[in-house]
Amino acid sequence: MHHIALRHGDVGRYVLLPGDPGRCERIARRFDDARLVARNREYETWTGTLTGVLVSVTSTGIGCPSAAIAVEELLQCGADTFIRVGTAGGMHRGMQTGELAIVTAAIRDEGTTSHYLPMAFPAIADLDVVLALREAARRTGARAREGVSQSKDSFYGEIEHERMPLHERLAERWQAFIAGGAICSEMEAAAIFIIASIHRVRAGGIMACVGNPDMTEAQVAHSMKAFDLDEVINTAVEGLRVLIERDAEAGARA
């Protein structure tokens, strides 16, 4: 593959998708016999096993355009189950920094997926993946809630909207998404879900959230002192384990 530098067979069918390549090795340490397979541009891939089944982790970089490339090429390498794992801004009032968001669907507030499907088509996570992540959070004891994410293109358009020429429109939309029940804001889920839908494969996402709309910048900064990615990583890996178990049970019944 031109961008991710992988061939068919280099990855398992189950793939975790962080944005940051620096997190790949950290995630892969939870696998058995993990090894670095490829590193090119923003894309780094490690492959190992869980309960004897081949699994992988591939970084996507930031945003829907690069995430779409990663998923498109991973599909051609044999992957069919994807879990986005990373961080997000909390949108649910009362959400605490470090709480996990299990993403059930994504607001397509970005441009990449308009090249795939009309914007009226929803970006929805696979139900099996959502339920596996719910069970994983129960097993790990993680604080988690399920709900809709906003997938956006502009990081600073969200966190510093007041200095943007369109600040009134950005603020209005932000408040509308919160009123509608969105629980977090990130930059990749919509593309991953839409491409998975088109190819009839499975995708979901789990995010460690930072802050909430009622917190001041100082409060968010203070809360970050105790922020730790281990909980979201451990829960995502456990989610893969649950999917592997349930797929094996379904295969045995068939």
List, as one string, the DSSP characters of the chain: -TTT---TTSS-SEEEE-S-GGGHHHHHTTSEEEEEEEEETTEEEEEEEETTEEEEEE---SSHHHHHHHHHHHHHTT--EEEEEEEEEE-STTPPTT-EEEEEEEEEESSGGGGTS-TTS-EE--HHHHHHHHHHHHHHT--EEEEEEEEES-HHHHHTGGGSTTHHHHHHHHHHHHHTT--EEESSHHHHHHHHHHHT-EEEEEEEEE--TTS-HHHHHHHGGG--THHHHHHHHHHHHHHHHHHHHHHHH-
d(CA 148, CA 103): 6
Q: Going by DSSP bridges, is the β-strand pair 202-210/144-152 parallel, antiparallel, or unpaired?
A: unpaired
Return the pLDDT at 224: 76
Q: From the CA atom positions of the chain, what is the Rg in Å?
A: 17
| pLDDT at 16 (0 to 100) | 98
CA 180 to chain centre: 21
Rounded to whole angstroms, how far apart are CA atoms 25 and 27?
A: 5
pLDDT score recorded for residue 253:
67
**Are 54 and 12 spatial neighbours (Cβ–Cβ below 8 Å)?**
yes
Q: Which pTM was predicted?
A: 0.94
Query: How much is the pLDDT for 148?
Result: 98
| pLDDT at residue 1, as a whole number | 85
**What pLDDT was estimated at residue 143?**
93
Rounded to the nearest 10 degrees, how much is the dihedral formed by the CA atoms of 218, 224, 226, 231? Answer: 150
pLDDT of residue 30: 97
User: What pLDDT tens digit does each residue of the chain (254 aa) get?
Assistant: 899 999 999 999 999 999 999 999 999 999 999 999 999 999 999 999 999 999 999 999 999 999 999 999 999 999 999 999 999 999 998 888 889 999 999 999 999 999 999 999 999 999 999 999 999 999 999 999 999 999 999 888 877 888 889 889 988 999 999 999 999 999 999 999 999 999 999 999 999 998 888 877 788 777 777 678 999 999 999 999 999 999 999 887 65
Q: In this structure, how many other beta carbons lie within 10 angstroms of the beta carbon of residue 221?
A: 13
Specify the pLDDT at position 254: 55
Domains of the chain in start order, with CATH, are 14-253 (3.40.50.1580)
